[in-house]
Structure 1
Amino acid sequence: MQTNAIHSSYVAIGDSFTEGMSDLLTDGSYRGWADLLAARLAALHRVAAGDGGVPAAFRYANLAVRGKLIGQIVDEQSHAAAAMGADLVTLVGGLNDVLRPRCDMGVVCARLEEAVERLAPTCRHLVLMRSPARRGPLLERGRPRMEALFGHIDRLAERHGAVVVDLFSAEVLGDARMWAEDRLHLNAEGHRRVAEAVWQALGHPAESDWTELLPPPVRPGWPARRGADLRFARQHLMPWIGRRLTGRSSGDGRPPKRAELSPYEL
């Protein structure tokens, strides 16, 4: 990959991770690592545009929608992303599939491969990821499938010249303090570190050490832990189970976060 490349356009596709949950802003919307990365790329582009070397406007689209499975990402997002012809595309998906009780890994890998084959020829840089995971029982139950998915991602990247950002191996991103109360999505600090990881993978100088560990945790007492577990079950786990039982998704009827490849205002 070209070091410190200047990108004029960026398209992000995926699920809630790329949409930005749960990096909550004061207006109730979500920001997330893709928005943070777009802001950095736009600022870098502005400097280059001032020198007359690149198109005047940096453009950004984020087609991600929470709750999407890999088949939905491929069918609903990859065609539009390929048609946009952006310099940079990030594709993250499949984790919602592998964490479900029933999952056909052959189908998941085939659909992911379909998306990569569609996107890779249309952009200068395609970025794939080994997604982060919060340490705990859910991770251990899903680890074999996750590792199979990540192995497939590595092979696809090698075949198509894509970049893989390995977030799964970063110990700090497994730390519970990097995750929101729902225990499924990164918090603001987690998203900031992912943006830094992708920034560095694109060849830009490090602004911080995104793998730096947090200080040793202070374990809360049993009442606090019990209260947190009860809030998690009431506010997040039970609604999630309800959606699974009724075949619904948190993204049903929700439009893409940023559907058009349009100028990004800093």
Structure 2
Amino acid sequence: MDAPGRPFRRYIALGDSSTEGLDDPNGRGGYRGWSERLALHIARGQAAPLEYANLAVRGRSTREVLEEQLAPALALAPDFATLFVGTNDVTAGRFDEERFAADFEAMQRSLRDAGSAVLSFTLPDLTPVMPLARFVRGRVLRMNERIRGCSAATGSLLVDFAAAPVTSDPRLWSEDRIHANSLGHERMAAALAEAIGLVGHGGWEEPLGPAERRSLAARAGTELGWWTRHFVPWIGRSLTGKTSGDGLEPKYPCPIVVSD
């Protein structure tokens, strides 16, 4: 495992919609996200310039990330990479745990063998955020165990978000209940920055203050809105074999120099 605190020259992010940055608006019609925030933390914490590329595309499964993003990532010769996948696997009709683990470890190992430090993380329990998540909770638990095992086997860094209760606070998640909101992305970036030895990013796991009490009518309206705006469209895409990322290209396929 790489010693935390080393300076990095080029950071490449691989993954799906989480890594792409949904739902953390950048004010310019796009998304920022934890990976871009992390890149900025790294750049601010070292004297050398940092290049950053984000190959993530929403809706991608682990196998699709391996097939579409790994080779381009290796061609960019990163010395630091983040890899987070699996959400689209555990919400699919069938979750192939063995194939997920094999693909995940293959990506971590390929990046490590190429000389890159690799950082991954587990998926929090979303049951408090979205009660329907209880139907895939067992899958998420098994996926997280595989992520932990693969990270240990390949010498990759790991942030175990599933072990931090605050990550299941609904106030860190967006209206769709699948993606972190801006505060959630901010906390994730702080946790990852701390994991690679950057100072000044502790406290991300601290609980939020007391939640605002909402009326029954307000809660019912929120539930109805979620079903109509998010769950029903997701079911429709699933039945037709479509994903939210069909036809989309990576956000930053070529490295850019990170600056404020």
Aligned to 1:141: 135
Moved more, 11-20 or 159-168: 159-168
Q: Who is 1:182 aligned against?
A: 176
Range moving further from structure 2, 207-216 or 88-97? 207-216
| Match in the other structure for 1:97 | 89
Q: Is the 8 A contact 1:89 1:123 kept in 2?
A: no
Quick one: distance in 2 between partners of 1:177 and 1:88?
A: 30
Matches within 5 A, 1:127-138: 127-134=119-126, 135=128, 136-138=130-132
- Amino acid of the structure 2 residue aligned with 1:82: L
How far apart, in 1, do the equivalents of 2:162 and 2:115 lie? 25
Structure 1 match to 2:74: 82
- The correspondence for 2:152, drawn from 134, 141, 158, is 158
Amino acid in structure 2 at the alignment position of 1:71 = R
The aligned residue for residue 217 of structure 1 is: 211
- Give the structure-1-normalised TM-score: 0.92
Aligned length: 257
Q: Which moved more, 1:110-119 or 1:210-219?
A: 110-119
> Could you tell me how far apart the structure 2 residues matched to 1:163 and 1:210 are?
17
Q: How does 1:107-118 map to 2 (within 5 A)?
A: 107-118=99-110
Distance (whole Å) between structure 2 residues aligned to residue 122 and residue 224 of structure 1: 52
CA distance in 2, matches of 1:82, 1:100: 28
Alpha carbon RMSD of aligned pairs, Å? Answer: 1.4
The question of whether the paired residues in 1 share the 8 Å contact of 2:125 and 2:137 is answered with no
SS in 1 for 2:163: coil
- C-alpha contact 1:79 1:118 (8 A) present in aligned 2: no
Correspondent of 1:245 among 239, 244, 254: 239
- Structure-2 change in CA distance of 1:264 and 1:205 (3 Å): closer
SS at match of 1:168: helix
Q: Verify the 8 A CA contact 1:14 1:92 in the aligned structure 2.
A: yes
Partner amino acid for 1:98?
V
The one-letter code matched in structure 2 to 1:124 is S
Partners in 2 of 1:199 and 1:138 — Cα distance? 31
Deviation at 1:106, TM superposition (A): 1.7
3-state SS of 1:152 partner: helix
Partner of 1:65: 57
Match of 1:191 in 2: 185
Provide the C-alpha distance between the structure 2 equivalents of 1:28 and 1:34, rounded to a whole number of angstroms. 17
When normalised by structure 2's length, the TM-score is 0.94
Q: Following superposition, which runs of at least 4 residues in structure 1 exceed 6 angstroms of deviation?
A: none
Partner of residue 52, structure 1:
none
CA contact (8 A) 2:14 2:83 kept: yes
Looking at structure 1, the residues matched to 120 and 202 of structure 2 have their Cα atoms a distance apart, in angstroms, of 21
The 8 Å contact of residues 4 and 195 in structure 2, kept in 1 or not, is answered as: no
Structure 1 residue 170 displacement after superposition: 1.3
% identity of equivalent residues: 36
Q: Secondary structure at the match of 2:162?
A: coil
**Any idea what the Cα deviations from partners look like across 1:31-85, whole Å, max 9, x if unmatched?**
010000111112223xx23xxxxxxx42100000111111110000011112211
